[in-house]
Amino acid sequence: MSWRAGVLTLFPEMFPGPLGQSLAGRALEGGLWALESRDIRDFATDRHRTVDDTPFGGGAGMVMRPDVLDAALASMADARPAIYLTPRGRKLTQARVRSLAAGPGVVLLCGRYEGIDQRVIEHRALEEISVGDYVLSGGEPAALVLLDACIRLLPGVMGAAASAEEESFAADLLEYPHYTRPAEWNGLAVPEVLLSGHHQAVAEWRQAQAERATRERRPDLWAAHADRSVSRGEPGLRHGPVAAAPTAP
């Protein structure tokens, strides 16, 4: 059975969107994953297809109704985790992406307006996920991000399995820099070690570059990586200077 994505949204025409192109699009056509998007307005009970109302306690904006959302969620309820995309959620991580990709799929609820009634979150035990510390106009762009991150990890989607093993966050580190032809461009040369043909030296250089980038740019990831390395009893991490990528003269 293919990995199944269900999306509840006020704008079902936004899907598959970019996920219908490139690797994800070919995988969708090939049956490696399946997508169903449903319009939340189809579960409204009045002739105006109302899905929102004014918030209790006052305040700006409107809130999506729990009865309408609950009916929409019930239409897709199964073994898949139900996720609400919201800035209030836990930040999406590569570890969570891997676990979702290894499961049967996901059901994603895309909110609009000021958000959704808290009671449906509690009643349906929705997992709240954020794709970053910023606010979007709705959950649809966040849903596309989450789906893309999961789909590329599904068996048969990516051409080379090693690509997923060496990219950013795969080992709690940011990815090392990449180079291709020409060997010299605009006064910048490719690091000599990458031209040496010495596989061990290349691997060590890439590891050092990944560690350096993580230390400098994401101290939170570096601290987590260091803690896990200590708990696994691995050799001490590099803390000395690391050769930088080439810069313009």
The burial class, CB within 10 Å (0-12 / 13-18 / 19+), for 172 is buried
Residue 161 pLDDT class (50, 70, 90 cuts): low
Q: Give me the residue spans of the domains in the chain.
A: 3-151, 167-231
Predicted local distance difference test score (pLDDT) of residue 169: 76
Q: In whole angstroms, what is the distance from residue 101 CA to residue 82 CA?
A: 14
Is the pLDDT at 142 greater than 90? The verdict is yes
- The whole-number average pLDDT for the span 231-237 is 65
| Residue-level pLDDT at 168 | 65
Task: List, for residues 235-249, the tens digit of each pLDDT value.
Answer: 655 544 444 555 444
Which is more confident, 231 or 245? 231
- Of 57-66, 171-180, 211-220, the range with the lowest mean pLDDT is 171-180
The whole-model pTM stands at: 0.87
Per-residue pLDDT of 99-123, as tens digits, reads: 999 999 999 999 999 999 999 999 9
Which class in CATH covers the domain with range 3-151? alpha beta
Residues 51, 35: Cα–Cα separation, whole Å: 23
Q: pLDDT tens-digit profile of 186-226?
A: 999 999 999 999 999 999 999 999 999 999 999 999 998 88
Give the pLDDT of residue 242: 46
CATH architecture of 167-231: Orthogonal Bundle (1.10)
Class of residue 122 by CB neighbours under 10 A (exposed 0-12, middle 13-18, buried 19+):
exposed
Rounded to 10 degrees, what is the CA torsion of 115, 83, 68, 86? 10
What pLDDT score was predicted for residue 209?
A: 97
Nearest to 142 by CA among 88, 66, 194: 88
Model pLDDT, residue 233? 75
Percentage of residues of the chain with pLDDT beyond 90: 83
